[in-house]
Structure 1
Amino acid sequence: MNGSSEIQGIASVLADRISAAIGRGFKIPPPPTIAARIAGTSQIAFSRFRNLESKPGLSTPSTREEAFVLNIPLMPAKYAVVSIDGRRQSVVQSPGKAYLFDLTSKNEVSLDAVYDSVRFHVPQASIDDAAYERGLPRVGGLHAKSLGQDDPVLYGLALAILPVVMDPTRATAAFLEYAALAVHDHLIYTYGGLPRGIQAVGGLAPWQIRRACDFIEANLAGDPSIVALSQECGISASHFARAFRVSLGMTPHQWITKRRIARAKSLMSQSAATLAEISLVCGFFDQSHLGRHFLKEEGLSPALWRRRQGAR
């Protein structure tokens, strides 16, 4: 098993554990869950947390651990009881707000609510790694101003990650990792209490750009991850993601997609391979996946582009 596959395997174990725990605790089918492991112990899980049938009683408290949950509602939801270490209140959750729960506390909610949200599960160790890689002091924990803090950034990230939670084939490992890095970056400043200062981040060195681009070209048919790319360049994943964007003007995920389109165009104009065959060779999941990205990039379908090339 290579490094990237091993990382994805560990993340899959985390996703399965979180999904099963949510299902047991809230008496719902285990929700769709994906996870990203960035580096070291840095990891995060994203779940589609949804219930459309009111039930009696309270949720079963999850196993206490040094981790945090952020619930990002997609629709209004009214909980008659939200209990944190025995302190009870009623809560109306609203889209656009983030609801932070510390898993070292005993958290219970009434099961009478009908809800639909995206749930982030973030271990304390992951937050520590994120701060360390940025040269920042350790974040002792996450704290919200209130139970329900306005947070358009997390709401936007939840909407972006939702289609991937429901269908992991819709995105690459690089996209998922970039989203995880963005969440970590937001959390350590917004909820970690660290002053938000301007970080002077330079780009990659010429040899790092060359090595990263060569690695991408050699692995387009697979799923080159930010972790693997950062290892090629000898720097942390978070440093690599920021420096890559400074140097090339786009995220690693966007660059990978761009290079896949370029390879597809080359194959379409120089070979008789079918679009389905070309899609797989270039790292797309299927022909429709290629078609969506090609149309967005070129403004026309692969088939039409190919016919025009033949006419020329």
Structure 2
Amino acid sequence: MENPKTWARYADFYRASPYSAFPQEHKDSAGRLPFHMITVDQRDQEFTDPAVPEAVLALPLSAEQGNSWAWDFGNGWHRDSAEPGRVLVLPPDGSSQWEVRGRRKLLVLTIPSKTVKQILGPSVPDHIGEALAPLSDKTFVDPLIQPLMLRLWESLTGAHATDRLLVDGALVTLVSHLIQRAGCVQKVPKYVALPPWRLKRVREYVEAHLHEEIDIATLSEVAGLSVRHFSRAFREEIGETPHKWLMTRRTEKAIELMTGTKMGLAQVAELCGFAGQSHFTKVFKHVTGHTPKRWYNERKRG
């Protein structure tokens, strides 16, 4: 089936095309780095997928014996069995034809090229599709990609305050690993230090939003850098990771409140942006060596 319409997202095509006949569930990223995921129960098909500005990863979770799929990106047909755990990568910006035989349940991850650029920053390949093309000739088992995709799917429905951080971190790891696995020779990025004015913007943002959830993608955006570049530059400048520095700053603020006010520990934890009192206790003890209650009591005795 030909699809002349231009699609910005593979997920939108999936809902509107003959794929809509297959039971499916969709989830969008809960973090700062946009992406989309789909689970779908597929069966025999012969479809044509349009070019979209997204890399697509398809991972069979289960499949009937004898499953197979064949695909053509315009350079000839490739055929392989659809075995659980064997991932297939579809580079962005290219249409494809498909012949699928047998039933299988797929987990699909779509990553916009804009997200890849946001993650890789100055070291992003000039042509993302060409960089990922070596991964599209056959399916493969990867000990890192499969658990990351499964963890991403699980975290998109998570209710924990740190799920957004986990989602963004997992996606950064997955994209970086894909580029390395494809054998892409990345451009050597021009080194840009984290100058005082960028660091000042980060500090001011954190002080104004310390009571809120703050993730590394937000801090990178405030600094005007990619996640990868910001993480490296911040560590070189400050001597610790952004997350560790943020937890230390939350603890310092908690100490200020515990010293200068009569607030309860639960209220202090909330005002300092901790996910809960148990999270507050864990981080506080890691930074100071004491639980908040013990620290407070010892200070009173002193």
Q: What TM-score, normalized to structure 2?
A: 0.68
Shift of 1:286: 3.1
Contact in 2 for aligned 1:204/1:243 (Cα 8 Å): yes
Counterpart CA distance in 2 for 1:263 and 1:157 is 34
For 2:29, which of 22, 29, 34 is the aligned residue? 34
For 2:176, which of 178, 181, 185 is the aligned residue? 185
Q: Residue in 1 aligned with 2:155?
A: 164
Q: Residue in 2 aligned with 1:105?
A: 96
For 1:134, which of 123, 127, 150 is the aligned residue? 123
* Percent of matched pairs sharing the same residue: 23
How has the CA–CA distance of structure 1 residues 137 and 15 changed in structure 2, closer, same or farther, with 3 Å as cutoff? closer
Shift of 1:27: 0.9
Q: Residue in 1 aligned with 2:206?
A: 216
The alignment status of 1:44 with 2:35, answered yes or no, reads: yes
The alignment status of 1:121 with 2:116, answered yes or no, reads: no
For 1:149, which of 126, 140, 162 is the aligned residue? 140
The alignment status of 1:205 with 2:192, answered yes or no, reads: no
Worse-superposed segment, 167-176 or 242-251: 167-176
How has the CA–CA distance of structure 1 residues 100 and 136 changed in structure 2, closer, same or farther, with 3 Å as cutoff? closer
Counterpart CA distance in 2 for 1:286 and 1:16 is 35
How has the CA–CA distance of structure 1 residues 224 and 132 changed in structure 2, closer, same or farther, with 3 Å as cutoff? closer
**Residue type of the alignment partner of 1:277:** Q
How has the CA–CA distance of structure 1 residues 37 and 286 changed in structure 2, closer, same or farther, with 3 Å as cutoff? closer
How has the CA–CA distance of structure 1 residues 89 and 229 changed in structure 2, closer, same or farther, with 3 Å as cutoff? closer
How has the CA–CA distance of structure 1 residues 72 and 81 changed in structure 2, closer, same or farther, with 3 Å as cutoff? closer
Shift of 1:174: 5.5
> What's the secondary structure of 1:279's corresponding residue?
helix
Shift of 1:275: 2.8
> What's the secondary structure of 2:251's corresponding residue?
helix
For 2:268, which of 273, 278, 293 is the aligned residue? 278
Contact in 1 for aligned 2:78/2:137 (Cα 8 Å): no
Structure 2, unmatched stretches of 5+, are: 1-8
How has the CA–CA distance of structure 1 residues 112 and 136 changed in structure 2, closer, same or farther, with 3 Å as cutoff? closer
Counterpart CA distance in 2 for 1:180 and 1:56 is 25
How has the CA–CA distance of structure 1 residues 296 and 44 changed in structure 2, closer, same or farther, with 3 Å as cutoff? farther
Q: Residue in 1 aligned with 2:54?
A: 67
Counterpart CA distance in 2 for 1:159 and 1:126 is 19
**Residue type of the alignment partner of 2:56:** V
Contact in 1 for aligned 2:42/2:104 (Cα 8 Å): no
What RMSD over aligned residues (CA atoms) do the two structures have, in Å?
4.4
Q: Residue in 2 aligned with 1:11?
A: none
The alignment status of 1:57 with 2:57, answered yes or no, reads: no
Shift of 1:227: 5.2
Counterpart CA distance in 1 for 2:64 and 2:260 is 59
Contact in 2 for aligned 1:26/1:60 (Cα 8 Å): no
Contact in 1 for aligned 2:57/2:90 (Cα 8 Å): yes
Counterpart CA distance in 2 for 1:209 and 1:36 is 23
Counterpart CA distance in 1 for 2:10 and 2:261 is 41
How has the CA–CA distance of structure 1 residues 32 and 157 changed in structure 2, closer, same or farther, with 3 Å as cutoff? same
Shift of 1:236: 4.4
For 2:68, which of 63, 81, 92 is the aligned residue? 81
Give the length in aligned residue pairs. Answer: 283
